[in-house]
Amino acid sequence: MKARVSLLLVIAVVMASFGFASAQDAPSGDLEIFSWWTGGGEEAGLNALIARFKELYPEVNVINAAVAGGSGVNARAVLTSRMLGGNPPDTFQVHAGEELNALWVAAGLMEPLNDIYEANGWLDQFPEGLLDLITDDEGNIYVVPVNIHRSNVMWYVPAKLEEWGVTVPATWDEFVNVTCPALQAKDVTPLSVGENWTQAHLWESVALGVLGVDGYNGLWNGSTSWTSPEAVAVWDTYGKVLDCANDDMNALSWQDASRRVADGEAAFNIMGDWAAGYFLVDLALEPGTGFAWAASPGTDGAFMMLSDTFGLPKGVANPGAVRAWLSFLGTAEAQDIFNPLKGSLPANTTAQIDNSELYNAYFQDAYSDWTSNAIVGSQAHGLVAPPAFSNGFAAIIAGFQGDHDSATASANTAVLALQTGMVQ
């Protein structure tokens, strides 16, 4: 009996080392990369990554399986059905955090990638706050982050603010009570907001501003009750902020909303830092003069982040090629190829962030915040809440836009958090 067990062990070890050895050989075959990067800088970044990867591994045949539309909703629908059908893509894009953990990791469908991290020394190269987010309780890491985005950024045009005689508000109270009336008196929209998801995006900035870092994190780990006076105050403030916004928000995409600031119709816009790319490339504005930025009111010293990552599903046909791809993605070289095009920060700290040809003034500024601020996760982009919560939250945000009823909204969110198993 004992002999048989040890024999099995030996076989297992041999097979494992054999598998490891074959992963070290030059990878070949097909590699299907699944993402929702189908336009603009995102697509350009992905294509540049693939081009460089092909130079490194000419034997691998890369298949770019990007699904367009719905800011990833459509892609996630396709991904879910492929995973359920037992036909996972070789590697897929996923937001770091709960979007990954609540489903794919919890269901045991992802391979741990700790060996890749150790082999490349990434445990020292990636920031600790980020590693905490993507490491599970047993110390396993399942994905390689390609980029970092900041969610809590307020955009404005400095010359316009001077013309209207307002300054960047330091808190939401100041915005609602001082900045907003001053701008409305001049017939300027104080804040431009777009369709539903941009409202959820605004909400998380308001929540972070009102609750502070610990209070905001508490919403997701259970230490801040959704029905507490503080949480209701978030909705109250959010309602007042919405009163200062344009009344055609449901008709605007995020680009439309950001553009109103550039056009001088609105004073401020809260949007993730992909807006920097929009101002720079699409609208050809100079950072610092044509457009400027600040942390959204009350969130100075906090960096609300989201990150696109890639992982290795279990049971794919060609894990060697996927490991090669992931090992490439995390390097400073790959991150310096991708992020300047996509308009995001590199996750790897050895990237050439000081190179102003690659990273513009916004990103150099954001990077110093990234390395010094408290890091919190974004709700609107799947970091801190499971998909079922985000879906219900979209309906609550949409309902609140109609009735501005803080009590109902906070009660509903509390029920939703319970039902989706976010809070025990």
Partner 1 sequence: MIGQSRRDRLIAFFMLLPSLILLGIFVYGFIGSTLATSLTDSSAMQRLVGTPANNVGLKNYNDLFTGLLDSRFRTDVVNTVFFTAMFIGVCLAIGMLLAILLDQKIRGEAVFRTIFLFPMALSFVVTGVVWKWLFNPDAGINVLPTVVGLPKGTFRWFISEDQWLQFNWQDLPVIVVYVVLAIVLIWALLRWSRTRGTAPALVAAGTILVSLYLTLGNASALRFPNYEVKGFNVALIAIVVAAGWQMVGYTMAMYLAGLRGISEELREAARVDGCTEFGVYRYVVFPLLAPITLSAMIILGHISLKIFDLVYVMGGGDNLYIDMPGLNMFFETFRGQQFGRGAAIAMVMLIMVAVVIIPYLVSSLRSQEKNA
User: Residue numbers of the site for partner 1 (CB under 8 A)?
Assistant: 70, 73, 76-77, 80, 83-84, 102-104, 106-109, 195-197, 247-251, 253, 387-388, 390-392, 394-399, 401-402, 411-412, 415-416, 419
Pairing of strands 29-35, 60-66: parallel
Spatial strand order in the sheet of 308-311: 60-66, 29-35, 91-95, 308-311, 143-145
| Alpha-carbon gap, residue 374 to 300, rounded angstroms | 10
Q: Is 200 or 376 the residue whose CB approaches partner 1 more closely?
A: 200
| Alpha-carbon gap, residue 36 to 64, rounded angstroms | 10
| Alpha-carbon gap, residue 338 to 207, rounded angstroms | 31
Give me the least distance between CB of 294 and partner 1, in Å please.
28
Give me the least distance between CB of 237 and partner 1, in Å please.
21
Give me the least distance between CB of 390 and partner 1, in Å please.
7
| Alpha-carbon gap, residue 193 to 154, rounded angstroms | 12
Q: Is 80 or 167 the residue whose CB approaches partner 1 more closely?
A: 80
Q: Is 131 or 388 the residue whose CB approaches partner 1 more closely?
A: 388
Q: Is 158 or 264 the residue whose CB approaches partner 1 more closely?
A: 264
Instruction: Please give the radius of gyration of the chain, using alpha carbons only, rounded to the nearest integer.
Output: 23
Give me the least distance between CB of 42 and partner 1, in Å please.
19
Q: Is 304 or 416 the residue whose CB approaches partner 1 more closely?
A: 416
3-state secondary structure 355-424: CCCCCCHHHHHHHHHHHHCEEEECCCCCCCCCHHHHHHHHHHHHHHHHHCCHHHHHHHHHHHHHHCCCCC
Collapsing DSSP to helix, strand or coil, 195 comes out as: coil
Give me the least distance between CB of 185 and partner 1, in Å please.
21
What kind and span of H or E run contains 202?
helix 196-221
Six-digit token string for 179: 């900045």
387-405: buried (b, 16+ CB within 10 Å) or exposed (e) per residue? eebbebbeebbeebbeebe
Q: Is 81 or 355 the residue whose CB approaches partner 1 more closely?
A: 81
Give me the least distance between CB of 152 and partner 1, in Å please.
21
Give me the least distance between CB of 198 and partner 1, in Å please.
10
Q: Is 29 or 315 the residue whose CB approaches partner 1 more closely?
A: 315
